[in-house]
Amino acid sequence: RKEVEQDPGPFNVPEGATVAFNCTYSNSASQSFFWYRQDCRKEPKLLMSVYSSGNEDGRFTAQLNRASQYISLLIRDSKLSDSATYLCVVNRRGSTLGRLYFGRGTQLTVWP
């Protein structure tokens, strides 16, 4: 089983729509969680960290459910500029580990 699994999509939504992405992780020792966005042929950029109590940044809301090992990202009032691939990222630390585990990404296209 992969460390991080995401629905690859693609999600095609009109401007103004609300869209939600889900992600599951396999290792309960995972300690920190992030959403990155990656534009075509560009580097991943941090969108937001995900905190246990859930957190919001403008139109973006992230949720974490440790019991179910599940992370979500909600985008409200979608903009054309939100079109990108969204990567769910999990960080698991240990004596020899210390790297991020990336999901394959969920592709979002927002159309006019």
Partner 1 sequence: EAGVTQSPTHLIKTRGQQVTLRCSPISGHTSVYWYQQALGLGLQFLLWYDEGEERNRGNFPPRFSGRQFPNYSSELNVNALELEDSALYLCASENRGRNQPQHFGDGTRLSIL
The site for partner 1 (CB under 8 A) is made up of 31-32, 34, 41-46, 49, 87, 89, 91, 96-100, 102-105
CB atoms within 10 A of CB 33: 22
Which residue lies nearer to partner 1 by CB, 39 or 77? 39
CA–centroid distance for 76 within its chain:
14
Tokens 């054309």 — which residue? 80
Which residue lies nearer to partner 1 by CB, 44 or 78? 44
Which residue lies nearer to partner 1 by CB, 17 or 102? 102
**Rounded to the nearest whole angstrom, what is the least distance from the CB of residue 46 to partner 1 in the complex?**
5
Tokens of 24: 């599951």
**Rounded to the nearest whole angstrom, what is the least distance from the CB of residue 79 to partner 1 in the complex?**
23
CA–centroid distance for 79 within its chain:
17
Tell me which residue of 20, 34, 4 sits closest to 82, measured CA to CA: 20
**Rounded to the nearest whole angstrom, what is the least distance from the CB of residue 42 to partner 1 in the complex?**
7
Which residues lie across from 61 on neighbouring strands? Answer: 56, 74
Which residue lies nearer to partner 1 by CB, 57 or 77? 57
